[in-house]
């Protein structure tokens, strides 16, 4: 009798293990969308991309962890030394200016989207005018900084001193990361000034609106802007000593 | 009883597997190979039951050792840049087909025997009836 129960338990465990494995595998595959006939080179490339992006995500998580640890360590070591505490405050100020910290404050939020006019309804229109281009984003960001914006982000990408906004086919690259419409631009600053600068007569938004783009500008009491996610590295520029 | 145990195990495994966290893509290749190896030993087990030489120790060791060995071979293949997992899959699947053939033959023969038997009984009753009338 005991032997039989043992046998039953073994069978339950084995079939459980097998179906568990199959289910997990099916879930993983369906999540990563490995479907319809890719050639072997394509599937290999896809495989590689998935692997590398996974590795990148892991490393990124690790980096954030380490940064948090660094913050804690710094606070611990400077907590009972006023001299170091001021230095610590300095570091914080510099990081804020560089865009390496997450910031919050009053500001505006602009959502730019491609026009919903199509060439089917209006055959004489220039198709290029109906899309949001890299130049349009650049103009808006420029206008925001001109109106005193202190922090700007486009679709979660922080705009810092070395940020490039470039055209990359049918998407736009900001900080080397591809983003697509709709574009959500957040800016921290004095809301009246920012929105006034953007929506003045003959200003940036009016020109974009004339092309039929959909624009949604709203003032925000509290807006959150993420930190710059990359590393700022200077290879050629060095400080001049004794300035 | 054993069938019930297997069905309960399958349902439990499916529920757990659906709710389980996804494994990372890098390891999904290994899991796939292990699943194929385990399936191979399951079919091997069924065919050995039909051939009446089933041994639980051999079945269990095949189930686990084959899975682990195939994973190790896959890792070795990736280190050597040879697609060893293709050979593993080839061997396992061809064995699975062999075992499936044995299972199919067994049931087809059983079924045709039964048919034959039924036909005989019917023929006998027919002759009896004609004799009576």
Q: How confident is the model at residue B131 (pLDDT cuts 50, 70, 90)?
A: confident
Residue A35: per-residue pLDDT? 52
Q: In chain A, which residues have their Cβ closer than 8 Å to the Cβ of B32?
A: 25
> In the predicted model, what is the mean pLDDT of residues B109-124?
91
A22 touches chain B (CB under 8 A): yes
Chain B contacts of A12, Cβ < 8 Å? 5-6, 8-9, 12
3-state secondary structure A172-237: EEECCEEECCCEEEEEECCHHHHHHHHHCCCCHHHHHHHCCCEEEEEEEEEEEECCCCCCCCCCCC
**pLDDT recorded at residue A191:** 92
- Residues of chain A where predicted confidence (pLDDT) is lower than 50: none
Report A:54-73 residues touching B (Cβ under 8 A): 54
- pLDDT score recorded for residue A243: 58
Measured CA to CA, the distance from residue A115 to residue B83 in angstroms comes to: 50
Segment B79-115, tens digit of pLDDT: 888 888 888 889 999 999 999 999 999 999 999 999 9
Strand pairing report for A151-154 and A157-159: antiparallel
ipTM of the complex: 0.72
Question: Shortest Cα distance from A18 to chain B (angstroms)?
Answer: 7
Residue for token pair 């319809």: A36
Q: What is the pTM of this model?
A: 0.53
- Give residue B65's pLDDT: 93
Q: What is the dihedral of CA B107, B113, B117, B120, to 10 degrees?
A: 140
pLDDT at B94: 93
- Whether B10 has a pLDDT exceeding 60, the answer reads yes
Kindly state whether A45 is in contact with chain B, defined as any CB-CB distance less than 8 angstroms. no
pLDDT of A47 reads 81
Chain A residues inside the 8 Å CB shell of B39: 18
Counting residues of chain B whose pLDDT is more than 90, the rounded percentage is: 31
3-state secondary structure of B100: helix
What pLDDT sits at residue A74? 80
Domain A102-225 carries which CATH code?
Answer: 3.30.70.1880
pLDDT digits (tens, 9 = 90+) for A113-167: 888 877 777 777 788 888 888 899 999 999 999 999 999 999 989 999 888 999 8
Give how far B101 is from chain A: nearest CA, Å: 22
- Please report, rounded to a whole number, the percentage of residues in chain B having pLDDT higher than 70: 99
Residue of B nearest to A28 (CA): B22
Residues ≥6 apart with Cβ < 8 Å to A243: none
The answer, for A13 touching chain B at a CB cutoff of 8 Å, is: yes
* Chain B positions in Cβ-Cβ contact with residue A13 (cut-off 8 Å): 9
Section B39-44 average pLDDT: 90
Q: Is A52 on the interface with B (CB under 8 A)?
A: no
**Partner-chain contact B13 A18, CB within 8 Å:** yes
Q: What is the mean pLDDT of residues B58-76?
A: 90
The CA distance from B26 to A46, in Å, is 12
Cα–Cα distance list, A190 to A51, A95, A153, A193 (Å): 44, 21, 16, 5
Query: How many CB pairs lie under 8 A apart between chains A and B?
Result: 93
Span B57-83, average pLDDT: 89
What are the phi and psi torsion angles at A233 (to 5°)?
-130, 130
């Amino acid at each position: 009798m005991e032997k039989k129960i043992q046998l039953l338990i073994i069978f339950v465990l084995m079939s459980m293990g097998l179906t568990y494995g199959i289910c997990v595998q099916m879930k993983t595959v369906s999540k990563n969308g490995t479907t319809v006939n890719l050639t072997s080179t394509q599937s290999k490339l896809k495989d590689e991309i998935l692997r590398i992006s996974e590795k990148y995500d892991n490393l990124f998580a690790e980096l954030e962890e380490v940064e948090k640890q660094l913050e804690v360590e710094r606070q611990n070591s400077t907590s009972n030394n006023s001299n170091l505490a001021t230095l610590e405050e300095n570091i914080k100020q510099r990081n804020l200016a560089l865009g390496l910290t997450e910031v919050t404050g009053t500001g505006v939020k602009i959502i730019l989207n491609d026009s919903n006019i199509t060439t089917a309804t209006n055959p004489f229109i220039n198709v290029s005018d109906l899309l949001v281009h890299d130049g349009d984003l650049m103009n808006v960001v420029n206008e925001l900084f001109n109106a005193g914006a202190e922090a700007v982000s486009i679709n979660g990408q922080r705009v810092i001193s070395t940020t490039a906004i470039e055209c990359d086919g049918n998407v736009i690259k900001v900080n080397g990361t591809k983003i697509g419409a709709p574009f959500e631009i957040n800016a921290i600053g004095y809301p009246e000034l920012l929105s006034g600068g953007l929506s003045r007569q003959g200003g940036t938004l009016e020109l974009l609106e004339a092309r039929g783009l959909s624009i949604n500008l709203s003032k925000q009491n509290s807006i959150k802007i993420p930190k710059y996610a990359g590393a700022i590295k200077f290879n050629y520029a060095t400080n001049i000593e004794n300035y | 009883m054993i069938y019930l145990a297997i069905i309960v195990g399958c349902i439990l495994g499916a529920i757990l597997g659906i709710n389980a966290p996804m494994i990372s893509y890098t390891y999904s290749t290994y899991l796939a190979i292990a699943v194929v190896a385990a399936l191979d030993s399951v079919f091997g087990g069924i065919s050995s039951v039909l051939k009446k030489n089933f041994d639980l120790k051999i079945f269990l060791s095949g189930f686990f050792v084959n899975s682990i060995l195939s994973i190790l071979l896959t890792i070795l293949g990736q280190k050597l840049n040879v697609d060893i997992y293709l050979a593993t899959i080839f061997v396992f699947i061809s064995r699975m087909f062999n075992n499936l053939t044995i299972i199919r033959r067994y049931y087809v023969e059983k079924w045709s025997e039964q048919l034959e038997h039924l036909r005989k009984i019917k023929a006998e009753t027919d002759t009896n009836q004609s004799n009576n009338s």
